[in-house]
Structure 1
Amino acid sequence: MRLSNYLFFTTRCEQALNFYETCGLGKIVEITRYGVNGIPTPPGFVQGQIMHAKFQGPGVLFYASDNDDAEPMRGSAHLLELEDTERTKELFARLAKGGTITTPLGKQPWSNLYGKLTDQFGVQWMLNCVI
């Protein structure tokens, strides 16, 4: 058994995944689009929007799609555990671009470096440097 997150965006899935690539989280490794290769385009969708995508990098795996009935992303966050303080600071700054920092990076009782943010696409991230 393996638990993987599935992110639902209403129309900005591709933008979000491209943003995560530029942040250095990994790469889009699989994409299925509405209206391509026999996949129908449901009413309200635009041909080419993402029906299903797989995103993967070292220690990172999640799935995503455009979805017309997507709920706002609340009550869940991606927790990234890193072992390099400079990498943690760099990734936090990249993910925070255009988003909102809810807990600035700093020392916590459980960690020498922890921070939380909501990115520009509404996804919550917690970064914890375990060294």
Structure 2
Amino acid sequence: MSVHAVTHLNFRGDARAALTFYQSVFGGDTALVTYQDAGAVHDPSAANQIMWGQVNAGNGFRVMAYDVPAHLPFHRGENSFFVSVRGEAADEIARYWEKLTEDATIVQPLGPAQWAPLYGMLRDRFGVTWVLDVATPYEAS
């Protein structure tokens, strides 16, 4: 089993441009899933914004990003990142989740999601937002 902690950057409409830029700097592959790709369009004007994106380079560089939906608060510089913990085993992710929940605010309870067997988000007692999930392969269309 393995787990990886990855910086997850948050944007308001700039995730695609940012990930494209980071890929041009560090190399590697870019994966992009729009809200439309995921069937999660709440605002038609944001259908092509990034619900989940990643740059993964062979040199070890990895970053994730998304466009914060308009109905959620976003203040550039205040909540510009999450720490994403992705693992291969549900029991391992659940153990980390249980420990992180001590004195935390649960944003999204750990449970099945459309894109992962387990996904959850919380803000720990230090104000850091954590996203935990079980990684699954994504086939881009």
TM bucket by the smaller chain?
0.3 to 0.5
State the TM-score, normalizing by the size of structure 1. Answer: 0.47
Q: Which has the larger radius of gyration?
A: 1
Instruction: Tell me the TM-score normalized by structure 2.
Output: 0.44
